[in-house]
């Protein structure tokens, strides 16, 4: 997996509202109605994430989940990170 070019990254971000590059990682903060929904998002996504074998850096405080995506082996953001962001968006839409 190779690191995305600036143009590829810009094109990918155009399809992912709410996502940005922060500290050279794909970054998004989700806000859910309550802790149960936030934790449910993480639990629901975890099975699909495990199948992808591409794990996010994420944290949860009450109703918020903060996600950072990068491909450590490639030294930056790759197509796998964009694919995971799309997957996370699909789960979040069901719970927000």
Tell me whether residue 1 is in a domain: no
Tell me whether residue 35 is in a domain: yes
Tell me whether residue 58 is in a domain: yes
Domain with 51, as residue range(s), is: 6-95
Tell me whether residue 47 is in a domain: yes
Q: Is residue 95 pLDDT above 90, yes or no?
A: no
Q: Is residue 57 pLDDT above 90, yes or no?
A: yes
Tell me whether residue 53 is in a domain: yes
Looking at the structure of the chain, the number of domains it has is 1
DSSP the chain: --PPPHHHHHHHHHTSTT-EEETTEEEEEEE-SSHHHHHHHHHHHHHHHHHHT---EEEEETTEEEEEE-BGGGTB--HHHHHHHHHHHHHHHHH-
Read off the pTM: 0.93
């Amino acid at each position: 997996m190779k690191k995305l070019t600036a143009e590829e990254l810009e094109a990918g971000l155009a399809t992912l509202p709410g996502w940005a590059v922060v500290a050279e990682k794909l970054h998004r903060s989700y806000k859910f109605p309550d802790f149960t929904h936030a934790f449910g998002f993480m639990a629901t996504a975890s099975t699909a994430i495990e199948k992808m074998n591409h794990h996010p850096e994420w944290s949860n405080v009450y109703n918020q989940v903060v996600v950072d995506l990068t491909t450590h082996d490639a030294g930056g953001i790759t197509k796998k990170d964009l694919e995971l962001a799309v997957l996370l968006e699909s789960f979040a839409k069901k719970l927000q």
